[in-house]
Each structure stands twice: as C-alpha cells, then as structure tokens.
C-alpha cells in the first residue's frame, strides 16, 4: 500500500509525519528503522504519528518513534511540527490544540509565521518518577561513568533527561560521553543527555544527545529540561533563549507550580508517498 507522509523539521530536528486518522497502516519496529535510514529510506530523527484521541477532552493522540524503532514519551520539536501538520492537512482548524502523549497531555498554540507555542506541562523532579535512581531528591547529583564523575541534574519533561554544565559547548565531548551517559545505570529507561553552556541569565547554548537517535540539531524537551536545571541552580531567569545547533528556542519557566512553555518555528520540507 502507498502511505502518504510529510517531511518536516523544527530547527533541523527532522521528522516523518504520518496521518493515521484518514489512512491506516501498521508500522513494525523493523519498518520504522528502514524508513529512518537516510540512504535507503526517507531519513529522520523521529517518526511522528497522528491518531484519533482515546479520550473526549483532547483533539488527537500523538505518538513518537525514534530512528531505532523505539517508542518514546515526548518530543517538543515534534509537537510543534505536529500542530502545523494537523492544520495543514485540515484535520483541524483550531489554533489551540490539545494532544495526548505517552508523557501526558500537552497544549499546542499555533501563532503566525509558522511559530508554535507548546505548554509542555510541569517538569518532573522526583527521582522515582523520572525515572532516576537516587536516595533522595536533590538539585544536582554526582554520577560516575567510566571512572569520571559528573555533576548532573535529572529532569523529566515527559521523557528522562540529564543535564550537564560545560564551559564551552564546542569543546564538550558529546560524541564520547553522550552514548555512554545515555545508557547510565541510574536511568533505567535511558536518558537524553544535555550539555549546557550558560552565556548569561537569559541565554544558554545547548547540545543534546538523544536516546535512540544520537546527537540532533535541536531537542525541544532537552531545551526545557536545561532551563529547569539552570533555574533550580539559580543560574537562569524566567525567560531564556536556548541556542541549539539548528537554531534558537524561547523557553519560559516561572518555577515550582508552573508549567514550562516553549516557542519555536516549524518547517514543512516536502510531501511524499512511500510503499509499505
């Protein structure tokens, strides 16, 4: 059968987006890996799937699969692309869209000029809920990896993140430590690993090694987690510009008891059909 799809990206974090509201398909882990292959398939960091909602108070169900075929709970850049996709496909005319994900319900607000605001919900800091192995909740935690100790923050934005502060983002050994820390035993469901350089209280630079995808040009949930980690350490203001390799996001977190909000652009690259 032929399956219609759209190729999109949010700051270079690229996606294959499929509407399974008006068409039907079953994608196995192996098929997702084939589609993700940049030489023999479509090529993407994540596959995004639009499904009908399973409860009455949301508009759609949003599922995310990494390039290795594993399903994950949340993707902030993908959420922005999701919002533009369902409007472009005329699946909805709403500008405020409520969506259910494995990581919890989120609200998407479509602005002009292809910018989308995402209410990412409340950051999760309790270790057992991240999940992260720790005796008690703290602002930072020391962990050992291959005889080196790292001071990290542990945050869930619907998916688990560790955040490290580095002096120079360009000199950070993301290629070396990213895949090792991703699988650290303290994170039973693996972790997205953020390397954060604080420029000033309103600006950071960030590189993220995403579990199941490797380093990407941008990571929305990683940007949110980094700002939360920086705010908890009294390093950042309520509104922060996060500069990623693919571009910049605006993140706002007023602190405990408030949700994290993210604003950033979306780009539709092309439409296509693939035989599955």
Q: Is 77 annotated as a binding residue?
A: yes
| Predicted TM-score of the model (pTM) | 0.88
Q: Is 66 annotated as a binding residue?
A: yes
Q: Does the annotation count 145 as an active-site position?
A: no
Longest dimension (CA), the chain: 54
Phi-psi region at 213: left, alpha or beta (left = phi > 0; alpha = psi -120 to 50):
alpha
Q: Is 158 annotated as a binding residue?
A: no
Residue 1: predicted pLDDT: 86
Residue 276: predicted pLDDT: 87
Residue 112: predicted pLDDT: 81
Q: Is 37 annotated as a binding residue?
A: no
- Reference 91, options 83, 101, 81, 79; nearest CA is 83
Q: Is 114 annotated as a binding residue?
A: no
Q: Is 13 annotated as a binding residue?
A: yes
Per-position pLDDT tens, the chain of length 276: 899 999 999 999 999 999 999 999 999 999 999 999 999 999 999 999 999 999 999 999 999 999 999 999 889 999 999 999 999 999 999 999 999 999 889 999 999 878 999 999 999 999 999 999 999 999 999 999 999 999 999 999 999 999 999 999 999 999 999 999 999 999 999 999 999 999 999 999 999 999 988 999 999 999 999 999 999 999 999 999 999 999 999 999 999 999 999 999 999 999 999 998
Residue 25: predicted pLDDT: 92
Question: How crowded is residue 111: how many other Cβ atoms within 10 Å of its Cβ?
Answer: 12
Residue 211 and residue 179: Cα distance in Å, rounded?
8
Stretch (H or E) spanning 160: strand 160-165
Domains of the chain, earliest start first: 2-111+265-275 (3.10.310.10), 127-258 (3.10.310.10)
Residue 35 and residue 14: Cα distance in Å, rounded?
13
Catalytic residue among 81, 145, 219, 224: 219
Q: Is 264 annotated as a binding residue?
A: no
Stretch (H or E) spanning 204: strand 203-210
Residue 100: predicted pLDDT: 95
Residue 202 and residue 217: Cα distance in Å, rounded?
21
Q: Does the annotation count 219 as an active-site position?
A: yes
- Reference 174, options 192, 187, 189, 149; nearest CA is 192
């Amino acid at each position: 059968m032929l399956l219609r799809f759209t190729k999109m990206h949010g700051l270079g974090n690229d996606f294959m987006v499929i509407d399974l509201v008006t068409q039907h398909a079953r994608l196995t882990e192996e098929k997702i890996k084939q589609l993700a292959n940049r030489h023999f398939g479509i090529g993407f960091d994540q596959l995004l799937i639009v499904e009908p909602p399973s409860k009455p108070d949301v508009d759609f169900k949003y599922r995310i699969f990494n390039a290795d075929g594993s399903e994950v709970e949340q993707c902030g850049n993908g959420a922005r692309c999701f919002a533009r996709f369902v409007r472009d496909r005329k699946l909805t005319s709403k500008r405020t869209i409520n969506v259910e994900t494995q990581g919890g319900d989120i609200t998407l607000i479509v602005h002009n000029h292809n910018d989308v605001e995402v209410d990412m919900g409340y950051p999760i800091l309790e270790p057992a809920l991240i999940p992260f192995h720790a005796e008690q909740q703290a602002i930072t935690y020391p962990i050992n990896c291959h005889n080196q100790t790292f001071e990290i923050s542990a945050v869930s934005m619907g998916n688990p993140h560790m955040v490290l502060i580095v002096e120079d983002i360009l000199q950070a050994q993301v290629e070396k430590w990213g895949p090792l820390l991703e699988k650290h035993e303290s994170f039973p469901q693996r972790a997205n690993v953020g390397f954060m350089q604080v420029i000033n209280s309103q600006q950071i630079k960030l590189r993220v090694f995403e579990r199941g995808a490797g380093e990407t040009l941008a990571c929305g949930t990683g940007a949110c987690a980094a700002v939360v980690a920086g705010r908890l350490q009294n390093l950042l203001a309520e509104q922060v510009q996060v500069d990623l390799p693919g571009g910049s996001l605006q993140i706002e977190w007023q602190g405990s008891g408030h949700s994290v909000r993210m604003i950033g652009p979306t780009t539709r690259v092309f439409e296509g059909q693939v035989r599955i």
